[in-house]
Amino acid sequence: MFVDLSTQPDGARFAGDVCIVGTGPAGITMALELGRRGVNVVLLESGGMQYEEAVQELYDGELVGHGNTDVSLAVLRERPEYAVPEYVTASLAAKPYSAAAMETTCPKERLAHLQMQCRADFDQDDYLIVDGWMISQTEAAFCASLA
């Protein structure tokens, strides 16, 4: 379903399990994959249904930093051991919420456990900095497994 927010009253709300900002290749791919797994996704994009030059100008900018913007490969640069599937499985199984996520077949339960584990990672300072972004070790392990 497409909804043009400019036609909605102020304060209108849209509910979902996850909100993805941006309908570029990564946003659409993530939304499709999560949707296939039963997650209710709100996909948010600027502009309307027609091309608007003024909206396109919002994207003008300069890419700085490391030339590779693939998060999975960036994580592997920082943590090469994540390239070993057995290492990733063992490290996730050692964490209570990710271990619980590995045990359930319910997508919503799995998502809830993983969200709690990422929160716990940050609470315990168990994160890494990848190209200037702070990523929980749990999220990093999953990203690396997609490389």
Per residue in 68-123, pLDDT tens? Answer: 567 888 889 889 999 999 999 999 999 999 999 989 888 889 889 999 999 999 99
pLDDT tier, 125 (very low <50, low <70, confident <90, very high otherwise):
very high
**What are 24-73's pLDDT values in tens digits?**
878 888 888 899 889 999 999 888 777 888 888 887 777 666 565 678 88
- CA dihedral sign of residues 121, 127, 131, 133: positive
CA dist 48 and 41 (Å) reads 19
pLDDT at residue 49, as a whole number: 75
Domains of the chain, by residue range, sit at 5-59, 71-145
Predicted pLDDT at 62: 74
* 94: Cβ contacts below 8 Å, ≥ 6 apart: none
Q: Is this prediction's pTM over 0.85?
A: no
Q: What is the pLDDT of residue 69?
A: 63
More confident residue, 123 or 143: 123
Q: Locate tokens 């300072």: which residue?
A: 125
The pLDDT value recorded for residue 51 is 81
Strands (E), the chain: 18-21, 41-44, 127-130, 133-136
